[in-house]
């Protein structure tokens, strides 16, 4: 996946250190020239070369960082929406724009201060001043570099979604989504007795004859206005809207999840209204309380799970095309 190829983004100090080292290495390569060795003119030329090399190296490294990030508008909607939920695409673009400014400034200052070094002769002060000014430019975007490295780490951890038949499991927090996923697929999401245990998207698979079905475990959703939903909930919405071939909505009528069943039913109705794929509703924790009119199961005892899976797999014949 393209997002997995984004390299580590260095800090300002790391970027400067690498650029200074590169410039020094280039100077060592040229040090043997008899025409310039030992003369005042040769020293001035060495200062000019070093300053230009640092500016060019900073420019090239910053441009490589910018180009390593994807064109977000070209990403599939699932990944674009996850990126927006986790990091904020506009914020990423602003930081990339700041790096673009720093790249241009580094190249401009490298050329300008290089010319000044040539005109000033053998002056250690010009080289010191050039290093300080170039360092100042890069340090102005240090926060952007650090933010982009956080973005890089988060994007690399996004699950890789295949084109297989995909079951997105949704519902309120703590209704048993992750327990169900662990029972029926290869996914290993964390399971605990407190809300919002699942803080990201988990993917598992299950073999059905020669085919394979993809299960997506989503963070819990609450019945509230879209603008009130947090980044964790927006990840679930992205999976519902752009990954699902069928949605399995799980309810907990025992209300041990901490949410009234009326709220869970309202969320079920809202999900049915926002997706264009089949939505199958199933009651979990049926060993505690069953609910008429729904498929009943218990991910603890396994009772009813096969019937739920059978209902889900029957929808494969109506699988939508591209996401």
Domains and CATH numbers, the chain: 2-156 (1.20.120.1190), 165-318 (3.40.50.300)
The model's pLDDT over 152-180, given as tens digits with 9 standing for 90+, comes to 998 888 888 888 899 999 999 999 998 89
CA distance 14 to 16: 5
Q: How confident is the model at residue 250 (pLDDT cuts 50, 70, 90)?
A: very high
Cross-strand pairs, 205: 214
Q: How confident is the model at residue 269 (pLDDT cuts 50, 70, 90)?
A: very high
Cross-strand pairs, 249: 170, 281
pTM > 0.85: no
Is residue 100 scored above 90 in pLDDT? yes
**How big, in percent rounded to 5, are the helix, strand and coil portions of the chain?**
55, 10, 35
Q: Which residue has the higher pLDDT, 248 or 239?
A: 248
List, in order, residues 6 or more apart from 200 with CB less than 8 Å away: 157, 159, 219, 232, 235
CA distance 206 to 184: 7
The model's pLDDT over 130-159, given as tens digits with 9 standing for 90+, comes to 999 999 999 999 999 999 999 999 888 888
231-253 b/e (C-beta count within 10 Å ≥ 16 → b): ebbbbbbbbbbbbbbbbbbbbbb
Cβ pair 155, 3 in contact under 8 A: yes
Is residue 260 scored above 90 in pLDDT? yes
Q: What is the pLDDT of residue 137?
A: 97
Residue 202, phi then psi, degrees to nearest 5: -120, 140
Task: Using alpha carbons, select from 99, 102, 188 the residue that is nearest to residue 151.
Answer: 99
Is residue 111 scored above 90 in pLDDT? yes
Q: What is the pLDDT of residue 188?
A: 63
Cβ pair 170, 251 in contact under 8 A: no
Is residue 296 scored above 90 in pLDDT? yes
List, in order, residues 6 or more apart from 288 with CB less than 8 Å away: 254, 256, 298
Average pLDDT, the chain: 86
């Amino acid at each position: 996946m393209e997002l997995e190829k984004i390299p580590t983004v260095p800090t300002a100090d790391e970027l400067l250190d690498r650029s200074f080292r590169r410039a020094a290495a280039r100077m060592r390569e040229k040090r043997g020239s008899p025409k310039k060795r030992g003369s005042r003119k040769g020293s001035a030329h060495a200062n000019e070369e070093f300053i230009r090399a640092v500016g060019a190296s900073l420019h090239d490294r910053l441009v490589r960082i910018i180009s390593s990030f994807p064109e977000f508008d070209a990403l599939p909607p699932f990944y674009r929406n996850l990126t927006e939920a986790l990091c904020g695409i506009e914020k990423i673009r602003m930081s990339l724009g700041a790096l673009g400014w720093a790249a241009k400034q580094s190249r401009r200052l490298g050329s300008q201060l290089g010319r000044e070094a040539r005109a000033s002769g053998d002056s250690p002060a010009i080289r010191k001043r050039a290093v300080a000014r170039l360092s100042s430019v890069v340090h102005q975007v240090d926060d952007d570099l650090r933010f982009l490295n956080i973005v890089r780490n988060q994007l690399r951890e996004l699950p890789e979604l295949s084109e297989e038949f995909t079951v997105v499991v949704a519902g309120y927090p703590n209704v048993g989504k992750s327990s169900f996923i662990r029972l029926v697929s290869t996914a290993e999401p964390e399971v605990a007795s407190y809300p919002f245990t699942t803080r990201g998207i988990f993917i598992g698979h299950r073999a059905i004859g020669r085919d394979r079905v993809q299960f997506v475990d989503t963070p819990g959703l609450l019945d509230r206005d879209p603008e009130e939903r947090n980044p964790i909930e927006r990840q679930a919405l992205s999976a519902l809207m752009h990954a699902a071939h069928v949605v399995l909505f799980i309810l907990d009528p025992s209300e041990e999840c901490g949410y009234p069943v009326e709220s869970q039913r309202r969320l079920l109705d809202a999900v049915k209204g926002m997706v264009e794929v089949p939505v199958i509703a199933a009651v979990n924790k049926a060993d505690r309380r069953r609910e008429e009119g729904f498929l009943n199961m218990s991910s603890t005892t396994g009772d009813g799970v096969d019937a739920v899976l059978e209902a889900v797999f029957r929808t494969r014949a109506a699988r939508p095309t591209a996401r």
